[in-house]
Structure 1
Amino acid sequence: MVAPLIFIAGCSSDGGKTGSGGTGGNSGGSGTGPNKKAAAPATIAITPADGTKSVETDGALKVDATGGKLTSVVVTDAKGKTVEGQLSPDGVGWKPAAPLANGGAYTVAAKAANADGAEVTAQSKFNTKAADDTFVADFNIEPDSTWGVGAIISLKFNEPIKDKAAIERNLKVVAEPAVQGSWSWLKDLDGNDRIDYRPEKYWASGTKVNLKANLTGAKAAPGLYGKQTKDIKFTIGRSLVATADLKSKHMVVSKDGSRIEDLPISAGGPNYPTWGGTMVVLDKVDGITMDSETVGLGSAYNMKNVRHAVHLTASGTYAHGAPWNDGKFGRQNDSHGCIGLGASNAKTFFDLVTQGDPVEVINSTDKTVKAGNGLGGWSVDWATWVKGSALGGGTAGTPAG
């Protein structure tokens, strides 16, 4: 019986000692007969070379075998922690699974064997370059949270991202069941660079999602490196979709495919029409101050303790209780852009929804909500969304294992 080999991948940078030779002459050779010729010894090349300084954190480290296959690669940092890596299908190459940390000291120890099983070893020690500056991302989804079927994963960066492909390569979404999904780069409402991920269609209820963001050491621009590593798992809950028809002035709510509510509304009036497109519930609060000055409408209103406010866009669109518009629900659109409901119906809607639930606004006379305004990515057609990827398109997610 042959015990399976375990390959431990590690981070590193460029350069390394080359190992060759082996033990045993013909011992361990295949076949029989006194004239059996021994296989040539395997060799190992480690890049970067031993003693190299200021190595790039991403893409510089690799281990290659010639005349045989790698049997073990172990890369450790100064604290002895191993770093995950990937062995090529043919067994002759290895590389780290994620960028290395800046300003780190790494040790590589590799083994390879030739066709006769004769083993060789090689080692390398090197240091990665220090970062001139660092960046972080604001993640909208918390670990172990539950989201609606319209959930969009969003990372907003505090520094401009010039090498978008380098960052996107270090982001991975795994879903069970698998989905066809894609990242797409956009601008947040405040102008910051942002990357969002969504499937082609709404998530299926019960989907388990795992976001892995290996941004530590990822190079966003010359001298600018990431300093975050995240492994976030969350769940898609029941399916709840609301459709606000601004022409009929009603909002229909469907749960798991069945209509459960038909709520009369009063949306934006002629001078302040409600945007069209799909918005996603960001959060909700029962009791909020709404001040028109915060959304660029001067002194049009300043209302205290607005009840049952469901937040739909970063620019200030809500679905909320609007008892001052009693008599207009289902009859007249007369808000400043929000979706107003009577007190009882506002509470009903508030109690039903959770973060990630889509609200589809149809028959609007205004423009469509922008992708970077809240989680507006569902308003972008799939082909356009995929073109926003720096890596050339969407990929099918794989089941979580």
Structure 2
Amino acid sequence: MPRFTGATRTGAARLAAGLLVVPLFLTACSSGGDSKPEGTPSGGISADAGGGGGKNKPPAAPAALAVTPADGAKSVETDGVLAVNATSGKVTSVVVTDDKGKTVEGTTSPDGAKWTPKTPLANGAKYTVAAKAANADGAEVTANSSFTTIAATKTFDYSFRPDETDGDTLGVGGVISIKFDKPIKDKAAIERNLSVVSEPATEGSWSWLKDHDGNDRVDYRPKEYWKPGTKVTWAANLAGAKSGDGTYGEKNRGGTFTVRDSIVATADLATKHMTIAKNGQVIHNLPISAGGPSYPTWTGVMVVMDKVDGIRMNSETVGLANAYDIDNVRYAVHLSASGTYSHAAPWNEGKFGKMNDSHGCIGLSTANAKIFFDLVNSGDVVEVINGTEKKLAPGNGFGDWNIDWETWRKGSALAGAA
């Protein structure tokens, strides 16, 4: 019995000592010894400890949406008006359809705050908008709108290159060119709806100029000649685009091409020879007879526009009165809108490589003209050097390369835009 009683006392003493340790341990785990905030649970451990994910987290603010234009709006501009804004939360879904059931593609900003269409809307069409936004807790709100766009009373059209006549390939000097049938006042509004995507990515820019016939034109070229094998996709989303004077575009156009092997011919008017390089290696050296002193050949870079085997050349069509009228000129390669060609010129036999005596064209023997004709296609390059005439103007055919890169970039209506 005494041993049992002694053991009991010893255990009780140990238990009491153990109870004294507990509050000391909990105090050591409190916030650096600071006094316990009022309302903190026993032991000094906050209900939100561990990242704020406790029961008392406040709910997220409700999401909110605003659609422009307002429901029922009429005569809405086709470009720059339609938008869905999340004034709270983020845009999660936007479906816009026209009265024919066609869906309008759009883009949501990286922060989820705004949705806008990728292209202008059609004129005189009815659209419906169904949009959703969600807050941080995933709670959604919806908004709807229905409106009608303005009907166009004036429209513009445009031609473009490369087109179906160029096929699906283009030379390293090829440019994308859009020529308008009416003056374009708001060039920035038009340019915003043009796009070019290339693989591999290639630095390039649009630039505005006047075509040889005086029409407004916008061209795209890279900083340097295209790299062979580059795949290029371009689009002109101009249906509904406003040119700035109440005139609207009617059509969307575009295309895809692949850049061929590099063909660059160098016509040296001093040596009176033209070398032809394929992918940097000279493969031909042909004697020529270019423009004489009274009719010098343009210098600078020319780009092959098209070619035809057999064409009538009449001087009156290029403002040279009745200087010549020759039917069925063989192997004609078109180099400028003002009438510069390379072609067979058998009437100048004996002058090739010795004397420049044409009215501005690059003449070759029939055999050599065929060599050049068979080798080149749209977009291939002819660089004319050591001549007396000024460089070919950018709007005269595809003289775009005769403008230095910085000047070319400044010709964009969006130059310097954010």
* TM-score normalised by length of structure 2: 0.86
Q: Which residue of 2 aligns with 1:20?
A: none
Q: Distance in 1 between matches of 2:144 and 2:313?
A: 64
Q: Distance in 2 between matches of 1:326 and 1:40?
A: 87
Q: Which residue of 2 aligns with 1:109?
A: 130
- Is residue 182–residue 394 contact of structure 1 (8 Å, CA) maintained in 2? no
Q: Which residue of 1 aligns with 2:139?
A: 118
Is 1:321 equivalent to 2:351 in the alignment? no
SS of residue paired to 1:293: helix
Q: Distance in 2 between matches of 1:134 and 1:279?
A: 33
Is 1:158 equivalent to 2:174 in the alignment? no
Identity %: 66
- For residue 382 of structure 1, the aligned residue among 392, 397, 405 is 405
Q: Distance in 1 between matches of 2:118 and 2:94?
A: 13
Q: Distance in 1 between matches of 2:197 and 2:61?
A: 42
- Is residue 275–residue 285 contact of structure 2 (8 Å, CA) maintained in 1? yes
- For residue 149 of structure 2, the aligned residue among 128, 132, 142 is 128
Q: Which residue of 1 aligns with 2:196?
A: 173
Q: CA deviation at 1:70?
A: 1.0
SS of residue paired to 1:219: coil
How do residues 40-55 of structure 1 correspond to structure 2 at under 5 angstroms?
A: 40-55=61-76
Q: Distance in 2 between matches of 1:31 and 1:232?
A: 55
Runs of 4+ with >3 A deviation = 30-36
- For residue 224 of structure 2, the aligned residue among 188, 201, 207 is 201
Is 1:332 equivalent to 2:355 in the alignment? yes
Q: Which has the higher contact order (CA 8 A, sep 6+)?
A: 1
- For residue 84 of structure 1, the aligned residue among 98, 105, 124 is 105
Q: CA deviation at 1:65?
A: 0.8
- For residue 222 of structure 1, the aligned residue among 241, 245, 250 is 245
Q: Which residue of 2 aligns with 1:9?
A: none
- Is residue 282–residue 312 contact of structure 1 (8 Å, CA) maintained in 2? yes
How do residues 343-354 of structure 1 correspond to structure 2 at under 5 angstroms?
A: 343-354=366-377
Between the two proteins, the alignment pairs up a number of residues equal to 366
- Is residue 386–residue 393 contact of structure 1 (8 Å, CA) maintained in 2? no
Q: Which residue of 1 aligns with 2:415?
A: 392
- Is residue 65–residue 88 contact of structure 2 (8 Å, CA) maintained in 1? no
Q: Which residue of 2 aligns with 1:14?
A: none
Structure ranking higher in helix proportion: 2
SS of residue paired to 1:294: helix
Is 1:262 equivalent to 2:258 in the alignment? no
Q: Distance in 2 between matches of 1:394 and 1:173?
A: 17
Between 248-257 and 32-41, report the one with greater CA deviation: 32-41
SS of residue paired to 2:243: strand
Which structure: larger Rg? 2
Q: CA deviation at 1:137?
A: 1.1
- Is residue 321–residue 343 contact of structure 1 (8 Å, CA) maintained in 2? yes
- Is residue 279–residue 375 contact of structure 1 (8 Å, CA) maintained in 2? yes
SS of residue paired to 1:220: coil
Residue by residue over 1:216-240, the C-alpha shift from the partner in whole angstroms, topping out at 9 and shown as x without a partner, is: 1110022100111123111111110
| Structure 1 residues without counterparts, runs of 5 or longer | 1-29, 396-401
- For residue 79 of structure 2, the aligned residue among 35, 58, 63 is 58
Q: Distance in 1 between matches of 2:327 and 2:205?
A: 41
Q: Distance in 1 between matches of 2:342 and 2:158?
A: 29
SS of residue paired to 2:336: coil
Q: Distance in 1 between matches of 2:264 and 2:388?
A: 22
Change (3 A) 1:34 1:205: closer
- Is residue 163–residue 221 contact of structure 1 (8 Å, CA) maintained in 2? yes
- Is residue 95–residue 129 contact of structure 2 (8 Å, CA) maintained in 1? yes
Residue by residue over 1:119-138, the C-alpha shift from the partner in whole angstroms, topping out at 9 and shown as x without a partner, is: 11000000111112111110
Change (3 A) 1:262 1:32: closer
| Structure 2 residues without counterparts, runs of 5 or longer | 1-50
Q: Distance in 2 between matches of 1:40 and 1:139?
A: 51
Residue by residue over 1:67-126, the C-alpha shift from the partner in whole angstroms, topping out at 9 and shown as x without a partner, is: 211110111111111111010000111101111111110001001111111111000000
Q: Distance in 2 between matches of 1:33 and 1:334?
A: 93
How well do the aligned residues superpose, as a CA RMSD in angstroms? 1.5
Q: Distance in 1 between matches of 2:416 and 2:55?
A: 58
Q: Which residue of 2 aligns with 1:212?
A: 235
Q: Distance in 1 between matches of 2:90 and 2:66?
A: 12
Q: CA deviation at 1:33?
A: 5.0
In the alignment, residue 180 of structure 1 is paired with which amino acid?
A: E
- Is residue 280–residue 376 contact of structure 1 (8 Å, CA) maintained in 2? yes
Q: Which residue of 1 aligns with 2:11?
A: none
Between 33-42 and 120-129, report the one with greater CA deviation: 33-42
- Is residue 180–residue 394 contact of structure 1 (8 Å, CA) maintained in 2? no
- Is residue 291–residue 357 contact of structure 2 (8 Å, CA) maintained in 1? yes
Residue by residue over 1:166-189, the C-alpha shift from the partner in whole angstroms, topping out at 9 and shown as x without a partner, is: 000100110101111011100001
Q: Which residue of 1 aligns with 2:311?
A: 288
- For residue 208 of structure 2, the aligned residue among 156, 162, 185 is 185
Q: Which residue of 2 aligns with 1:73?
A: 94
Change (3 A) 1:305 1:393: farther
